[in-house]
Amino acid sequence: MMRVLLQRPETRNQRSETRRQRSEDRGQRIEVRGQRSEDRGQKLNCFILSSLSSVVRLLSSVFCHPSSVFRRPSSAFCHLFFVVCLLSSVLCFLLSPCYAATLSSSELIANAKQYDGKIVVYHGEVIGDVMVRGSYAWINVNDSQNAIGIWLESKLVKDIQYTGGYTSRGDLIAITGTFHRACIEHGGDLDIHAKSTAIYKKGSKLEEKSSPFKIKVAIYLLIICLTLTVIYFITLGYRKKK
């Protein structure tokens, strides 16, 4: 029922509009690409830190562990090196989980059991209404595949200026929060409880431009229809008289 795909189609009589749309879309794609490269950067950081941590732990265990064959008991340097290695590996280990994975709505829905209860990063366009319910609120965020409901504190929605609709493109928002496959608090809904949000691009009002071709076709058709209606009623009157 609720299948929404990425690209908007091109229609023959909307060429100029489509061209404008395309350039906008291209801009967005560049942005999304930028976002993706950022994500990739985050993942790379995470990978480097984890690898570094493993290497440091390995080196320290080989050279400085009391049971190591390379150990020289009299060397204070070795003890210092061991402590530094240990501290850095702990630091690396602690740092790595704070980089939660950025996921698309399709990935989250398809692998809901896998991500249930985990902290995820999800981003997309705020669409429809911001529904404030006391000290919390619901927003729906569409990442151009599906829209997912986000439950967040009311103070976090104050920065949202635009929500997506026919006349506007909504704010693009990144959400870090706990993903729920079947939320106990919300009757089994699939949702994300946001811990933090960040608007990375403000939305805007969309200008509506009509295609001149469409206007011409509409006017011609209306003229033809009015003529036909008049002819129809004249013939009807003539037939009744007969």
Residues that bind another protein (CB under 8 A): 1-5, 7-11, 13-14, 17-18, 106, 109-110, 112-113, 127-133, 137-138, 140, 142, 144, 146-147, 149, 151, 164-166, 182, 184, 186-191, 208, 210-211, 214-215, 217-218, 221-222, 224-225, 228-229, 231-232, 235, 239
- Could you tell me the smallest distance in angstroms from the CB atom of residue 86 to another protein? 41
Q: Are 200 and 174 in contact (CB under 8 A)?
A: yes
Task: Give me the least distance between CB of 222 and another protein, in Å please.
Answer: 6
Cα separation of 116 and 192, whole Å? 10
Q: Which is nearer to another protein, 92 or 126 (CB)?
A: 126
Which residue type, as a one-letter code, is found at position 231? I
- CA-CA distance, 142 to 183, in Å (whole number)? 19
Closer by beta carbon to another protein, 13 or else 23? 13
Closest to 167 (Cα-Cα) out of 220, 208, 227: 208
Instruction: Please say which residue, 198 or 228, places its beta carbon nearer to another protein.
Output: 228
**Are 46 and 92 a contacting pair, CB within 8 Å?**
no
Q: Least distance (Å) from another protein to the CB of residue 15?
A: 11
Report the phi/psi class of residue 57: left, alpha or beta, with left for phi > 0 and alpha for psi in -120 to 50: alpha
Closest approach of Cβ 178 to another protein, in Å? 15
The end-to-end CA distance of the chain, in Å, is: 55
- Report the residue number, 83 or 110, with the smaller CB distance to another protein: 110
